[in-house]
Amino acid sequence: MRGIFTPQEFHFGDFTLDQSNYRLQRGTHFLRLEKLPMDLLILLVQRRGELVSREEIAESLWGKDVFVDVDHSINTAVRKIRVVLRDDPDKPRFVETVVGKGYRFTAPVITSNGNSNLQVQPPPPPAQAPASPVVQPARQRVLSTRLLAALLAAVVLAMAAATLWLQRTERFWRNPIADARFQTITDFGGVEQAAAVSRDGHFVAFLSDRDGPMDVWVTQVGSGQFHNLTRGSAPELANPSIRTLGFAPDGSLVTYWVRRQDSSSGYAIGTWAVPTLGGEPKPYLEGAAEFDWSRDGSRLAYHTPGPGDPLFVSDGTQRPEGRPIFTAPAGLHSHFPLWSADTKFIYFVQGTLPDKLDIWRIPSVGGTPERITSHNTRVSYPVLLDRRTLMYLATDSDGSGPGLYSVDVEHRIPHRLPSGFDRYTSLSASADGRRLVATLASPKRTLWRLPIADSATEMSAAVPISLTTSTGFSPRLGSDYLVYVSATGTTESIWKLANGTGTELWSGQGARIFGGPAISADGRYIAFSVSQHGQTLLYVMQADGTNARIVSDSLNLQGAPAWSPDGQSITSAVLDHGVPHLFRVPVDGHPPTSFLRDYSVDPAWAPEGRLVVYSGPDIGTTFSVKAATGDAAPHPLPALTLTRGARHLAFLPGGRALVVLRGDIQHKDLWLIDLDTGSERQLTHLPSDFDIHDFDISPDGHEVVLEREQERSDVVLLDLPRP
């Protein structure tokens, strides 16, 4: 039995399942999977290719005397396996459902003993031949030849399997910035973002508020000199969802995204340019939100700001009359176009803003896009270092980051690059991939109180809130208390501030609380949505933090939850067949039901329950606010279109006036909209460095609490050694 071994590791797709250490990993990332789904996954992989019945699963996992709801438990375990493997039940790559029977693991599996060497079980020896008094020499030679051929075939098979496994697992992957030299080139004490490097690597452009307003700045690497190119002439430049700065192919111009007020159509979006050495800004690509020139400067890819961000390709002209090659499906965006070195493909980021995104590519002649990454988080700023090495920014599943990632576009196994820094906000590369420029941010989030007055409240009336924790965000006001979210490392928690005393109500390791908490109308309960271990969970707890329980663990929740006025259910957006729309989730354990079928997120109920307002899809840089009755019928509203970015909707007492965030993508103020007359008035008038990220209105309508995000950032060069 010398050649026979018990496999310790199973390798399938990008995954490695280590049954001896009870561990699952994708590439170099370890994945969390609870005991029951892990046991089921091991069982299915061990019996790969076989139909494993539900009865066999129940007996294997619980034994013969079962005292649990087996069907529900198996369904839940399978769903959790699919979540962590990112498997589509309609088009499964790994776990196939045989309706009414059981499950089958369908992916090819390579086994190993846990060491770097693969082991292959040799074929069983041939059956014992009947005894013969004499064996002829010729017969012996035939047997010897056959045995040698069998052994050679086994060796070839083992080598092929080992090669395939090593290729798929990237055992010899190397960090592309392992030997990079980091150099900080700005120290302005303010905000620097959207950095871009010229193709020859000699110039760096970036946005900065060094002189007050956000402007386009440029520096020649190594000179120590910085020049403000726009000097307040472009009032709205920042847009973290796209690559706002770039260079002309010859480096003579710095290009920048602009959004200007247009009396005829609201806003006009395009790309302008200013000479790198200084001069008058002029239009560069009118109507183009983003663009990328091919490496030889002969072809242009760009997208417009229309629904689905239509992508075009133009040959050799700066005033494009391009050929359309792709438009994202309804409700999705496609940003950051990037040519491959051989011009066969255009890479881009596609998904739902702000944090359900991934990198795709499409043939430059058009066709069907193919997915390169599977993060489903905030992904941005892809750059190519060479023909196959793609670097980009992405947040982790726990919400940390964005960090630097690298992926081989053929193997497609992402790697988080350790760099000693926590949060990158932009990334650019020179044409040869040897020089990178990035911006690193250190955000600080604080909470402030302001009174609601008859005129716009100024900064002088804002009062900072003293917190027990170092950070606070997503504030919500009860009648006599404040709840907010705080973060420490990979742990997020909900805190309550009452009478000057802070109390932690809930905490979850590796949990990310999204959308902010929701307080019931009577102030007795708090609901909140959590992303944890590959799932989205909806919790409800009492206002003192006791009796926390999960009311939904089977929905792909999106955005902010909202209590129904009667306190019997929670309304939340759910991603359903690729489109988020509102569901009702009863708190008594009854199954969730679909409420609205149209695209709808971030609901807010009027206090008496006569209508719910919600956000529609982002189109370009704006989204519309819509309303429905409690019976899901459309409800008329004054025309209300807001700018993408921070968003929240809140009613004043009585439900006849709505408070919204209005302004630029990064800087907004609070406005009050009278829903009966459509009249508007500004509630706050805060300075440009006071960025409101979230807010809430007190139950009596006299006070507002604001989340302020302050960001200090710098531009950093990464010089890679020559190969």
CA distance 678 to 680: 6
Closest CA to 658 of 685, 640, 635, 634: 640
Strands (E) located in 276-316: 282-286, 290-293, 299-303, 311-315
3-state secondary structure of 143: helix
* pLDDT tens sequence across 432-446: 999 999 999 888 899
CA-atom Rg of the chain in angstroms: 29
- The pTM of this model reads 0.67
Q: What is the DSSP letter of 77?
A: H
* pLDDT tens sequence across 36-92: 889 999 999 999 999 999 889 988 887 765 544 576 678 778 988 988 898 888 789
**How many of the other CB atoms lie within 10 Å of CB of 101?**
12
Q: Which amino acid is at 533?
A: H
Across 454-463, average pLDDT? 95
Torsion angle in degrees (nearest 10) through CA of 119, 39, 376, 359: 10
3-state secondary structure of 507: strand
Give pLDDT, residue 8: 76
Strands (E) located in 109-214: 110-112, 181-184, 192-197, 203-208
Across 212-218, average pLDDT? 93
Q: Give the helix ranges, DSSP H, for 20-53.
A: 35-46
Fold of the domain built from segment(s) 181-442+714-719: Neuraminidase (2.120.10)
Q: How far is CA 683 from CA 410, 664, 670, in A?
A: 53, 16, 5
CA distance 406 to 496: 40
Where are the chain's structural domains?
9-125+142-169, 181-442+714-719, 453-701
CA distance 81 to 466: 43
Q: Which amino acid is at 688?
A: S
Strands (E) located in 109-156: 110-112
Higher pLDDT: 158 or 300? It is 300
Sign of the C-alpha dihedral computed for residues 619, 382, 487 and 512 taken in this order: positive
CATH class of the domain at 453-701: mainly beta
Question: Taking phi first (over 0 means left), then psi (-120 to 50 degrees means alpha), and beta for anything else, what does residue 93 get?
Answer: alpha
Checking DSSP bridges between strand 684-685 and strand 680-682, what pairing results, if any? unpaired
Give pLDDT, residue 421: 52
∠ Cα 209 180 25 (to 5°): 100
- Evaluate whether 614 touches 584 at the Cβ level (below 8 Å): no
CA distance 566 to 230: 53
103 DSSP β-pair partners: 52, 97
- Evaluate whether 429 touches 389 at the Cβ level (below 8 Å): no
- Evaluate whether 247 touches 254 at the Cβ level (below 8 Å): yes
Q: Can you say how many angstroms the Cα of residue 403 is from the centroid of all Cα atoms in its chain? A: 12
Strands (E) located in 294-423: 299-303, 311-315, 323-326, 333-339, 345-352, 356-363, 370-371, 379-384, 389-394, 403-408, 415-416
Q: Worst-scoring range by mean pLDDT, 22-26, 152-156, 460-464?
A: 152-156
Across 676-693, average pLDDT? 93
Give pLDDT, residue 134: 44
Checking DSSP bridges between strand 684-685 and strand 457-458, what pairing results, if any? parallel
- Evaluate whether 392 touches 379 at the Cβ level (below 8 Å): yes
- Evaluate whether 540 touches 549 at the Cβ level (below 8 Å): yes
- Evaluate whether 459 touches 686 at the Cβ level (below 8 Å): yes
Closest CA to 516 of 590, 447, 470, 578: 447
* pLDDT tens sequence across 17-45: 988 878 898 877 778 787 888 999 999 99
- Evaluate whether 436 touches 195 at the Cβ level (below 8 Å): no
| pLDDT of residue 145 exceeding 70 | no
Higher pLDDT: 607 or 398? It is 607
Two domains, one topology: 9-125+142-169 and 453-701: no
* pLDDT tens sequence across 308-343: 999 999 987 665 578 999 999 878 999 999 999 999
Helices then strands, counting H and E runs in the chain, come out as 4, 56
Please provide the average confidence, as pLDDT, over all residues in the chain: 87
Across 634-647, average pLDDT? 92
3-state secondary structure of 387: coil
Give pLDDT, residue 131: 44
Percent of the chain with pLDDT over 90: 61
* pLDDT tens sequence across 541-576: 999 999 999 999 999 999 999 999 999 999 999 998
| pLDDT of residue 481 exceeding 60 | yes
Q: Which amino acid is at 671?
A: W
Across 276-296, average pLDDT? 94
Q: What is the CATH number of domain 9-125+142-169?
A: 1.10.10.10
* pLDDT tens sequence across 399-427: 678 999 999 999 999 998 875 556 899 99
Q: How far is CA 414 from CA 29, 405, 429, 651, 713, in A?
A: 9, 7, 19, 43, 26
- Evaluate whether 447 touches 475 at the Cβ level (below 8 Å): yes
Across 514-518, average pLDDT? 95
CA distance 307 to 362: 19
∠ Cα 221 244 382 (to 5°): 80
Q: How far is CA 426 from CA 186, 231, 256, 341, 529, in A?
A: 15, 22, 14, 21, 28
